[in-house]
Amino acid sequence: MKKTLVALSALTILIAGAAHARPSQPSEFRGYETCIDAAKAEFRSGFATSRTYYIDREGPANAYFINASAWQAGDRALLRISCETSRNGRELLAYTASSGRFVPQRGSVSIQVAGNQ
């Protein structure tokens, strides 16, 4: 019985943690999709995103930081995609893609450059 309760408690914590990575509003999901669409247009071959992303809701726009990968010159390349969208998520205001990964550190995102991995 104790093992079942511990397993259920652990499962509840995992589910709560996974739900935290999801957008809290439809406009945030729209913004995420707008950002991904821009990246897919640039990286057509084998583009895939990681399961989590980071969002900055401060300021007049939402900023998204997304780890992804794509095929480049026959090799799988790690990418960091960043973009800003309007608050409603419909308009792409800024977009950049570069090699590397975004790494979470105490509530903020640091940048891990591909050469430093």
Q: Give the tens place of pLDDT for each residue, 24-61.
A: 789 999 999 999 999 999 998 899 999 888 999 888 99
- How many domains is the chain partitioned into structurally? 1
Residue 4 has pLDDT above 50, yes or no: no
Name the residue range of residue 93's domain.
Answer: 25-116
- Decide if 3 is inside a domain: no
Q: For the segment 66-112, what is each residue's pLDDT rounded down to a tens digit?
A: 999 999 989 999 999 999 999 999 999 999 999 999 887 765 554 44
14 inside domain: no
Helix residue spans in the chain (DSSP H): 2-20, 26-42
CATH code for the domain in which residue 50 is found: 3.10.450
Residue type (1 letter), 27: S
How many Cβ atoms from other residues are within 10 Å of residue 95's Cβ?
Answer: 18
50 vs 69: CA distance, rounded Å: 8
Is residue 4 in a domain?
no
Q: Is residue 32 domain-resident?
A: yes
| 105 within a domain of the structure (yes/no) | yes
End-to-end CA distance of the chain: 45
Q: SS3 for 111? A: strand
Position 73 in a domain: yes
Residue 29 maps to a domain: yes
Q: Which one, of 31, 96, 29, 35, lies nearest residue 60 by Cα?
A: 31
Q: Note whether residue 16 is domain-resident.
A: no
